[in-house]
Structure 1
Amino acid sequence: MRADDGDVALQTLLLPFMDGSLTWPEAGGALFLRARDGWPLHQRAWPGLVCEQSYKPDADALERSGLPVIGDESAPGEARYPLVLVLPPRQREESRALFARALASCAPGGRVVACLGNQEGAKSGEADLARIAGPVFSLSKHKCRVFWTAPLQGAADPALAREWAKADRPRPIVDGRFMSRPGLFAWDRIDPASRLLAEHLPGDLAGRAADLGAGWGYLAAELLARCPHITALDLFEAEARALELARVNLSGFADRAALDFHWHDVTKGLSQRFDVVVSNPPFHAHNSADRPDIGRRFIAVAAQALNPGGRLWLVANRHLPYEAALGTNFGKVRAVAERNGFKVIEAVRAADRPVAR
């Protein structure tokens, strides 16, 4: 099975086991943090492999391949593994916290093995793991670096490992108005595109609403604060770590509107119907390449989920080609505002117009 021929970091992560540099444990299994599916996982058996993934599309892909998946626990449980694999994120505080979790999840005598692209911080990631784990060994291929520890008896620097374990914990931002954490989109600030959209939300929006790609909840909170006739709001977010914080950030509105939170890949469609949809859709893949197809799919899903006459309020980078998708799926489309490279668009679902699927 070749789920993603382009995931060279995954391929390089498993290289030491394929070339004989490392041996897969005979017993006890392995924990794979930030796991992703791809053909390298299917080139041979990996007995006892358990995958952890908080990003819904990746978790779904792993499950479709028959791999056991657990959510992001954010702290090590009682289970310890003789091998812990890691695909660290680029954000350094989140990455350091993940290395600390990997060490805490490693059984005595076990190893941690990690891989990063050279352009994604491979050298600094290797240095960080060495700081808390001791000497590491490495191989380079496919413009990536895989690096691993010696057999461990705990952290080489326990105090630093404990400090790093807290590096990505939730914390107040925007003068304490919201809670967020490193690694999330625009984690320490209000994204200027979302701010622009919030500023232009009309007060007459009413009924049941949805926020597609809700993140840690800023846009949803602004919608409820600015639009008193919204009676229910469903938040759809693919990253469980963000959705957890959206629950916290929206808790003050629980008496004002019915709230529901969905760990969901919006591109798979929605089963509910809404009067209002707001969205700042993602437009990047894991490798940071532009993916305007994701935004176009969000637009189509919004049109399918809206009641006739329902309204979509969307913000996007000005250069992204969404106009054709909007024209195909909506009866009325208008540009509302532009600023700093972003555009706000309102689109109204026509009562007699079928939507593309």
Structure 2
Amino acid sequence: MTTSFSAAVPDSLLDALFLPFAAGALRLPADGHALFLHARDGFRLRETAGAGWLCQQSFKPFADALQRAGRRVGEPAPDRRYPLVLLLPPRQRDEARAAFARALRHLEPGGVVLAAAANNAGAKSAEADLARLAGALRSLSKYKCRVFWATPRPETVESALLEAWLALDAPQRIEGGYLSRPGLFAWHRIDAASALLAAHLPADLAGRVADLGAGYGYLAAQVVARCPQVQAIDLYEAEARALEPARVNLAEACQASGREDMAGSVHWHDVTAGLAQRYDAIVTNPPFHQGRADLPELGRAFIASAAEALLPHGRLWLVANRHLPYEATLASRFAQVRTVAVQDGFKVIEAVRA
């Protein structure tokens, strides 16, 4: 199945990021090495990046797109330093601040940290945060974006602030005692739609279950707590930063239910690409946004993957915003579809395979 996540970043954002090189304000490193945090594939990257560039990306569809383009994708070694660190800061501010701190941590003395953000995606706040950490910046504005950069001097970087911002990315306890971290979906709370689905999960779910788009693992933990006949559960999540909290929350749910021997695993996976395993039941609160844009095709792709992964008579339990048009897709893939609950703008649906 072809992924429904758009792997392409707007050309304008990469055009802005690389504008200082085109304008002669910056030069590419003589040794050909650079680190690109939260990297995205695109024409400008393919045109500019060399073999010595390392692209870091924790979101599986975007990491896959970079690899297909021939980029080297991975995490930098803790002590590795680069003459150039590029960054597309994420929207969530704590996550972005941690990313800026990480950029400086991996920067060589005398090196350049370079970032770009769209004007309607917090560019001014991001620029102010980098200035607070790195000192004086230079900037350009074009393509409805801002690109800004610095060559931090050690004496201008406040080490206490650097360490505090690095710590912002650490997993932390939230409402309900769950472990989460900034930038994940509904990272600091229990999502209302997921809570509604959990409240309607039937106690007779049994066998092997999957949670698609598991996030930090709330729904999977609820399956363990509410469905004693479930023997194994697999969590699928495209954001690698969610995997550690999901593993912890799943293990704690099993322990609290006295089911420490229950089989469970967490997978870094793009659900829209399909699943290899077959399941007796699937639960999901599928994403329907990418960035700020509505993308109901994502939910439809999750439904299609679920239908293909369910065993005969397997059951899909799904929650979605009430306005999302999933019924036609469900009706084309399942023998029985019923709306279980409609509340607070959400709908819970059960669909059963023939």
> Which residue is equivalent to 1:81?
82
What CA distance in whole angstroms lies between the structure 2 residues aligned with 1:100 and 1:45? 23
Q: Is the 8 A contact 2:7 2:61 kept in 1?
A: no
Q: Is the 8 A contact 1:337 1:343 kept in 2?
A: yes
- Aligned counterpart in structure 2 of residue 275 of structure 1, from 253, 276, 280: 280
1:57–1:41 distance in 2 versus 1, CA, 3 Å? same
What CA distance in whole angstroms lies between the structure 2 residues aligned with 1:347 and 1:308? 12
Letter in 2 for 1:259: G
> Which residue is equivalent to 1:42?
46
> Which residue is equivalent to 2:132?
131
- Aligned residues between the structures: 344
Letter in 2 for 1:109: G
- 1:265 deviates by 0.2
1:57–1:334 distance in 2 versus 1, CA, 3 Å? same
Letter in 2 for 1:272: Q
> Which residue is equivalent to 2:199?
199
1:341–1:91 distance in 2 versus 1, CA, 3 Å? same
2:338 aligned with 1:334:
yes
- 1:40 deviates by 1.5
Within 5 Å, give how 1:195-274 maps onto structure 2: 195-252=195-252, 253=254, 255-274=260-279
> Which residue is equivalent to 1:353?
none
> Which residue is equivalent to 2:24?
20
Structure 2, unpaired ranges of 5+: 1-5
What CA distance in whole angstroms lies between the structure 2 residues aligned with 1:313 and 1:5? 32
Letter in 2 for 1:218: Y
- Aligned counterpart in structure 2 of residue 51 of structure 1, from 55, 59, 75: 55
What SS does structure 1 have at the residue aligned with 2:290?
coil
- Aligned counterpart in structure 2 of residue 348 of structure 1, from 331, 335, 352: 352
Identity %: 60
1:156–1:225 distance in 2 versus 1, CA, 3 Å? same
- 1:8 deviates by 2.3
Given the two structures, how large is their TM-score scaled by the length of structure 1? 0.93
> Which residue is equivalent to 2:92?
91
C-alpha distance after superposition, 1:234-269 (max 9, x if no partner): 100000111121001111316252001110000000
- 1:209 deviates by 0.3
- 1:28 deviates by 5.5
2:300 aligned with 1:300:
no
Q: Is the 8 A contact 2:232 2:262 kept in 1?
A: yes
- 1:44 deviates by 3.7
Letter in 2 for 1:140: S
What CA distance in whole angstroms lies between the structure 1 residues aligned with 2:185 and 2:93? 14
2:124 aligned with 1:119:
no
What CA distance in whole angstroms lies between the structure 2 residues aligned with 1:22 and 1:339? 54
What CA distance in whole angstroms lies between the structure 2 residues aligned with 1:321 and 1:7? 30
What CA distance in whole angstroms lies between the structure 2 residues aligned with 1:42 and 1:100? 26
> Which residue is equivalent to 1:159?
160
Letter in 2 for 1:87: L
- 1:170 deviates by 1.1
- 1:3 deviates by 6.8
What CA distance in whole angstroms lies between the structure 2 residues aligned with 1:41 and 1:143? 19
1:187–1:151 distance in 2 versus 1, CA, 3 Å? closer
1:268–1:126 distance in 2 versus 1, CA, 3 Å? same
Q: Is the 8 A contact 2:318 2:349 kept in 1?
A: yes
1:121–1:239 distance in 2 versus 1, CA, 3 Å? same
Structure 1, unpaired ranges of 5+: 351-357
What SS does structure 1 have at the residue aligned with 2:289?
coil
- 1:18 deviates by 2.1
> Which residue is equivalent to 2:173?
172
1:341–1:301 distance in 2 versus 1, CA, 3 Å? same
What SS does structure 2 have at the residue aligned with 1:138?
strand
1:283–1:108 distance in 2 versus 1, CA, 3 Å? same
What CA distance in whole angstroms lies between the structure 2 residues aligned with 1:266 and 1:135? 43
> Which residue is equivalent to 1:355?
none
What CA distance in whole angstroms lies between the structure 2 residues aligned with 1:38 and 1:143? 17
Structure with more contact order per residue of length (Cα contacts < 8 Å, sep ≥ 6): 2
- 1:110 deviates by 0.1
> Which residue is equivalent to 1:354?
none
C-alpha distance after superposition, 1:12-56 (max 9, x if no partner): 111111222210001150000000111121234435211001110
- 1:4 deviates by 2.9
> Which residue is equivalent to 1:312?
316
1:163–1:212 distance in 2 versus 1, CA, 3 Å? same
1:270–1:44 distance in 2 versus 1, CA, 3 Å? same
What CA distance in whole angstroms lies between the structure 2 residues aligned with 1:65 and 1:224? 40
1:266–1:203 distance in 2 versus 1, CA, 3 Å? same
Letter in 2 for 1:165: L
The root-mean-square deviation of aligned C-alpha atoms, in Å, is: 1.6
